[in-house]
Structure 1
Amino acid sequence: MIKLKSFILSLVISTSFISPLVHASSTETHEKITPKVIFFDVNETLLNLDNVGKSVSKALGGRDELVPFWFTTMLHYSLVSNETGEYHSFAEIGIASLEMIAKQQNIDLTPEQAKTAVLTPFRDLAPHSDVVEGLKRIRALGYKMITLTNSSDAGIAAQLKNSNLAQYFDGSLTVQNLQTFKPDLKVYQWAEKEMKVAPEDAMLIAAHAWDIAGADKVGWKTAYILRPGKALYPLADKPDLTGKDLIEIAKQLEADAK
């Protein structure tokens, strides 16, 4: 009984020391995020790729399970392009990746069919349901808003026009001008120079962990949209803001602007 009382007493004493520390930690002041320029990724971040997925699946004989494999293959070979210095547009890499997977799976697919399956839906994508409200709210805060994508100049122009999102942005930057794909750090550094903004005054909003990791590495603030099926890369630093959609990100920016 004496030992039990001693244990309880020591637990109470230790808890009395720990409690203030826990309280202090929970009431830490949040660093306000107030960038001068906000860069936006577009595909998946703003625009819904469901139609692309359906088109690619149809081209692959209805094999829905191959669609994520196609997208990661496209990303993989964009990085191969970075390393070899042989640039092809993101659309060209997407078409080539689709042809590769069709051959690997013994699915009959002509180059023209692959081109149609990728290009037709990619140029005419609808925004996610949260995007218009989210963009309006961020726009109201007075930030300069720029798209920064792996698409071509013509590709992003068509996408923004067809989705009716062009009105919310002050400009667009694409890797076509640099011929190097994100998340190569040179892309983010080039973008900040183009916009004449210091790294600490730049922010990226994206739904891709690899994109967030690249922007963070050059000193940008980052906001991650946790779209369904997405997850953060555990070995990278956590983003400054996280939300399930753009509206949640906008609300956090509004709170920081007060």
Structure 2
Amino acid sequence: MPHVADVDTVVFDAYGTLFDIEDENWAPADVVRTMRRKQLEYTWLLSLMGHYQDFPTLTRRAIEYAKALYDEYNVDVENVMRRLVHLQAFPDVEIGLKRLGDGRRLAILSNGHPDDLEQLCIHAGLRARFEWLISAHEVRIYKPAPAVYRLALERTGTPRDRLLFVSANSWDVAGAGASGLRAAWVNRTGDPPQPVGGEPEVVVRDLEELAAELE
């Protein structure tokens, strides 16, 4: 197995890895958690059923579900949709990307819609860090389907053994590993490992620690 530092291209998940989608500043905590849970459930359900709807559509439906469940909060669906393309990056991201991008090419591979990924990166001042913004929308199926992870190899042209996929979502790491990608798990919350799927090559607390592993 290659040493973890033997990497030419680092490919990041977006939501929960670079951008804090569970920040409670944009909605009450109950709404945030429910929206995120349903958002992921809808991607998995559609993929298993062989159907596809774009990520903004699923996100809107997840917000509407949360609004119906917690009607006491009077959730403004349109406001939440706007806020979701202006999420804050985690505190370690800017410095971590700077270090990880020293001599390496960087990309994002996300379930998010291409337009939303562009807006997220521009808002956070990170767009120049990434050579590619790669979306599951291109193959009309969501992670952890293998077709999505193959996009990272196809779009970047990086040999499989020289590419590292990075996610804070353990299910995403499991999917990437099962698809044959080298993977790093940014375990921000100290969760136990997933018992199914591929295993991460390295587990870190944040991107700065990952950068240290690759130096």
**Moved segments of 4+, more than 6 Å:** none
Measured in 1, the distance between the counterparts of 2:101 and 2:73 equals: 47
Residue 105 of structure 2 is aligned to residue 133 of structure 1: no
- 1:67 and 1:126, CA in 2 relative to 1: closer, same or farther beyond 3 A? closer
CA contact 1:208–1:230 (8 Å) conserved in 2: no
CA contact 1:37–1:201 (8 Å) conserved in 2: yes
Measured in 2, the distance between the counterparts of 1:147 and 1:105 equals: 33
Q: Deviations over 1:155-187 (max 9, x none)?
A: 000000010011211111111111111111110
Measured in 2, the distance between the counterparts of 1:180 and 1:244 equals: 29
CA contact 1:206–1:212 (8 Å) conserved in 2: yes
Which of residues 74, 77, 80 is equivalent to 1:114?
77
Residue 194 of structure 2 is aligned to residue 233 of structure 1: yes
Q: 1:39-118 counterparts in 2 under 5 A?
A: 39-51=11-23, 53-57=24-28, 64-105=29-70, 107=72, 113-117=76-80
Q: Which has the higher contact order (CA 8 A, sep 6+)?
A: 2
TM-aligned CA deviation for residue 237 of structure 1:
4.0
TM-aligned CA deviation for residue 137 of structure 1:
0.8
Q: Which structure 2 residue ranges, 5 or more long, are not aligned?
A: none
CA contact 1:127–1:163 (8 Å) conserved in 2: yes
TM-score under structure 2 normalisation? Answer: 0.89
CA contact 1:74–1:97 (8 Å) conserved in 2: yes
The structure with more radius of gyration? 1
The aligned residue for residue 115 of structure 2 is: 154
- 1:132 and 1:238, CA in 2 relative to 1: closer, same or farther beyond 3 A? same
Measured in 1, the distance between the counterparts of 2:16 and 2:83 equals: 13
Percentage identity across aligned positions?
21
CA contact 2:188–2:205 (8 Å) conserved in 1: yes
TM-aligned CA deviation for residue 92 of structure 1:
1.7
TM-aligned CA deviation for residue 105 of structure 1:
4.8
Aligned CA-pair RMSD:
2.1
Q: Which structure 1 residue ranges, 5 or more long, are not aligned?
A: 1-29, 58-63
- 1:66 and 1:157, CA in 2 relative to 1: closer, same or farther beyond 3 A? closer
Measured in 1, the distance between the counterparts of 2:30 and 2:73 equals: 17
